[in-house]
């Protein structure tokens, strides 16, 4: 297409384009002295940073000496919300059954969505003498 | 998940291992433990993505490596439950506070400071106005509040403790290019942190109502959503800086938005064109319970911003096209942003005497299949569990055959309208932005 016609279609006047000054090469080779000294001037500014507060440290629970004969709860956080996201936990359960058959595993789905707590389930696990928990999967 | 694991560990003393995707697990191990839970929860990392993968892939993940320790996955789980606690894992009490941030930075050249601000993640990577003492002092004249006043304490990403002062907000307001008269709006915005974050492409939208719009020269007319007005542009930019500096959002450290969202550059900062509202259509802030004479900023959260593309035509009423476009939204809420000419047509020609009437009609007429509704993971993850607990209408919708049509905007009050624009085209946007919070601007004058 003719360049003039194309520019007209784009709404630009060919005359304007032709007359537009070129700035290439104007990045100065000779910086005025005043500008150079302004660039070197030291200035003091306020610090934007906000110091985050550190959380109070809480120790973890003591660990088990071994898993043999223990009950481990595999808790699905229901990341997808449809009760269909426990495939990884089912694979974990299958692994325990094959490699550590003395470990009893129980899969539970947490109530509520993935950001809500389920204190009733934690109590249930404690009441039923759960020895350990694997909680997942979020991401 | 750290909070839940922590509750099991702390309250019931049951050893717990948390499994997270490799995309976000570093947050649970790092910043979340340091600033939020205080518990060094033992995490394993599962390769991402795991949702949507066939079972054979999940089996491979379990047979593979934990992305955190590099050990075989199941060995890492067994170790997490049985390896004795380290000294760090036994620590209790409040750690010594980090040295406070100095109020002033060491003197340096403008070029070096601009570079430093970028390297620290304090900018949107456009040049900022450097916050000299003179400029910050001038900004502080825009409010009656004292510089050392704490605006908020629980301000960080996911609510972590990050107390910040009026002066800190003034620093960011200067950096964004604000005039002192904008400062009460920016303080009100800062009072609303933390803004929602997600690995999805979530974004925020700012709507200003009340007399301050005119007092500070916000544009609610022609070109209001474009880069054509100083106040709109600068206030929107200030929110981005608040999110990054005060809230502490750092991509890959405290936040993990895979694509993020270009709307985050100015957060859709707009002022409602209250003067052009049809009679009977209330301004947003009045609908939210404020007085007309109050100045209020409302922060919305959402993902989608669908353009009407063309103007309202004779042969298809505007609410019909709105209905069509809204069928692609999740159904969890919507806000229509429309030119005053569209609002006039909806009222005068189509008979919607109020914004609420329009919301009612759309609630009754937007439809999509149950399969498509539940196919959206935001819907399924948030509302699926409510369906499982029997809450209607979700419980019924979850049992329906996938091809059954439902009316996803069950609550008409979840459909909002904001009128803005200059009456040069009868155009509009359908969005899924939902008003999260509003804050009084007058309280920060």
CB B203 within 8 A of CB B302: yes
Has residue A58 been placed in a domain? Answer: no
Q: Does the pLDDT at position B87 exceed 90?
A: yes
Has residue A32 been placed in a domain? Answer: no
Q: How far is it, in rounded angstroms, from Cα B131 to Cα B171?
A: 6
Has residue A122 been placed in a domain? Answer: yes
Has residue A42 been placed in a domain? Answer: no
C-alpha neighbours within 13 Å on the C-beta side of residue B357:
11
Q: With CB atoms and an 8 Å threshold, state whether A57 touches B39.
A: yes
Q: What is the ipTM of this complex?
A: 0.92
Q: With CB atoms and an 8 Å threshold, state whether A60 touches B61.
A: no
Q: With CB atoms and an 8 Å threshold, state whether A81 touches B382.
A: yes
Q: Which of A71-75, B33-37, B352-356, B422-426 has the lowest mean pLDDT?
A: B33-37
Radius of gyration of chain B (CA): 25
Query: Å from B310 to nearest chain A CA?
Result: 20
Q: What is the pTM of this model?
A: 0.90
Give the residue-averaged pLDDT of B110-114.
Answer: 97
Q: Which residue has the higher pLDDT, B88 or A139?
A: B88
Q: How many domains does chain A have?
A: 1
Q: Does A81 touch chain B (CB under 8 A)?
A: yes
Residues of chain A found within 8 Å of residue B164, distances taken between Cβ atoms: 50
Per run of 10 residues, the mean pLDDT along chain A (length 139 residues) is 40 36 38 66 96 91 97 91 82 96 95 87 96 90
Has residue A12 been placed in a domain? Answer: no
> What integer pLDDT is reported at residue A14 of this predicted model?
36
> What band does B320 get if pLDDT is binned at 50, 70 and 90?
very high
For B325-344, what is each residue's pLDDT tens digit? 999 999 899 999 999 999 99
Query: Å from B55 to nearest chain A CA?
Result: 7
Q: How far is it, in rounded angstroms, from Cα A60 to Cα B3?
A: 13
Q: Which of B3-7, B302-306, B422-426 has the lowest mean pLDDT?
A: B3-7
For B299-312, b/e burial (b = at least 16 CB within 10 A) is bbbbbbbbebeeeb
> What integer pLDDT is reported at residue B424 of this predicted model?
97
Residues of chain B found within 8 Å of residue A83, distances taken between Cβ atoms: 384, 388
Residue B301: enclosing H or E segment and its boundaries? Answer: strand B296-302
Nearest to B82 among A63, A126, A138 (CB): A63
Chain A, 31 to 50: residues with Cβ < 8 Å from chain B are: 39-50
Instruction: Give the range of the structural domain holding residue A124, as residue numbers without chain letter.
Output: 71-136
Radius of gyration of chain A (CA): 34
Q: How far is it, in rounded angstroms, from Cα B28 to Cα B135?
A: 39
> What integer pLDDT is reported at residue B154 of this predicted model?
81
Angle subtended at Cα A70 by Cα A68 and Cα A75, rounded to the nearest 5 degrees: 125
Has residue A93 been placed in a domain? Answer: yes
Q: Of how many residues is chain A composed? A: 139
Has residue A23 been placed in a domain? Answer: no
Give the residue ranges of DSSP H helices in B125-229: 133-140, 166-176, 183-190, 212-215
Has residue A131 been placed in a domain? Answer: yes
What residue has token string 């605006």? B151
For B252-294, what is each residue's pLDDT tens digit? 989 999 999 999 999 999 999 999 999 999 999 999 999 999 9
Q: Mind spelling out the 3-state secondary structure of chain A?
A: CCHHHHHHHCCCCHHHHHHCCCCCCCCCCCCCHHHHHHHHCCECEECCCCCCCCCCECCCCCCCCCCCCCEEEEEECCCCCCCCCCHHHHHHHHHHHHHCCCCEEEEEECCCCCCCCCHHHHHHHHHCCCCEEEEEEEC
Q: How far is it, in rounded angstroms, from Cα A65 to Cα A131?
A: 11
């Amino acid at each position: 297409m003719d360049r003039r016609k194309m520019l007209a279609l784009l709404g630009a006047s060919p005359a304007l384009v032709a007359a537009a000054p070129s700035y290439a090469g104007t990045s100065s080779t000779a910086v005025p002295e005043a500008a150079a000294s302004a660039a070197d001037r030291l200035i003091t500014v306020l610090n934007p940073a906000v110091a985050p507060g550190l959380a109070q440290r809480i120790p973890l629970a003591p660990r088990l000496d071994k898993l043999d004969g223990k009950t481990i709860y595999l808790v699905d956080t229901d990341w997808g919300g449809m009760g269909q996201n426990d495939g990884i936990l089912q694979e974990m359960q299958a692994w325990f059954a094959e490699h550590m058959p003395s470990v009893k595993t129980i899969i539970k789905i947490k109530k509520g969505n993935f950001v809500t707590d389920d204190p009733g389930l934690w109590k249930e696990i404690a009441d039923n003498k759960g020895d350990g928990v694997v909680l997942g999967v979020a991401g | 998940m750290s909070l839940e694991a922590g509750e099991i560990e702390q309250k019931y003393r049951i050893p717990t291992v948390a499994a997270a995707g490799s995309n976000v697990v570093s947050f649970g191990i790092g910043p979340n433990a340091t600033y939020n839970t205080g518990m060094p929860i033992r995490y394993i990392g599962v390769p991402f993505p795991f949702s949507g993968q066939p079972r054979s892939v999940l089996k491979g993940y379990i047979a593979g490596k934990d992305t955190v320790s590099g050990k075989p996955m199941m060995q890492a789980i067994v170790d997490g439950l049985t390896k004795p606690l380290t000294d760090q894992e036994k620590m209790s009490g409040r750690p010594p506070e980090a040295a406070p941030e100095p109020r002033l930075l060491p003197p340096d050249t403008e070029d070096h400071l601009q570079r430093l601000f970028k390297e620290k993640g304090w900018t949107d990577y456009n040049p900022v106005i450097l916050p000299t003492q003179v400029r910050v002092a001038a900004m502080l004249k825009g409010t009656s509040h004292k510089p050392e006043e704490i605006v908020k304490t629980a301000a960080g990403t996911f609510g972590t403790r990050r107390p910040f002062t009026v002066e800190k907000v003034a620093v960011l307001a200067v950096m964004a290019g604000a005039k002192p008269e904008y400062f009460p709006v920016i303080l009100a915005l800062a009072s609303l942190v933390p803004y929602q974050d997600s690995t999805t492409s979530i974004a925020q939208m700012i709507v200003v109502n009340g007399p301050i719009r005119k007092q500070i020269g916000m544009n609610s007319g022609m070109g209001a959503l474009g880069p054509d007005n100083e106040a709109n542009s600068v206030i929107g930019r200030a929110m981005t800086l608040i999110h990054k500096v005060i809230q502490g959002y750092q991509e890959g450290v405290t936040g993990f938005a895979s694509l993020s969202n270009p709307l985050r550059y100015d957060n859709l900062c707009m002022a409602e064109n209250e003067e052009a509202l049809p009679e009977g259509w209330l301004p947003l802030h009045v609908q939210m319970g404020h007085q007309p004479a109050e100045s209020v900023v409302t922060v919305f959260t959402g993902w989608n911003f669908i353009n009407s593309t063309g103007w309202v035509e004779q042969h298809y009423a505007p609410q019909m096209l709105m209905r069509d476009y809204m069928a692609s939204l999740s159904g969890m809420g919507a806000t229509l942003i429309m030119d005053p000419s569209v609002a006039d047509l909806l009222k005068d020609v189509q008979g919607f005497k109020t914004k609420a009437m329009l919301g009612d009609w759309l609630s009754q007429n937007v439809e999509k299949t149950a399969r498509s509704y539940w196919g959206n993971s935001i819907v399924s993850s948030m509302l699926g569990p409510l369906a499982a607990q029997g809450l209607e209408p979700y419980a019924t919708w979850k049992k329906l055959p996938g091809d059954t049509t439902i009316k996803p905007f069950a609550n008409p009050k979840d459909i909002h309208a904001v009128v803005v624009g200059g009456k040069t085209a009868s155009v509009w946007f359908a969005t899924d932005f939902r008003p999260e919070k509003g804050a009084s601007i007058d309280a920060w004058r």
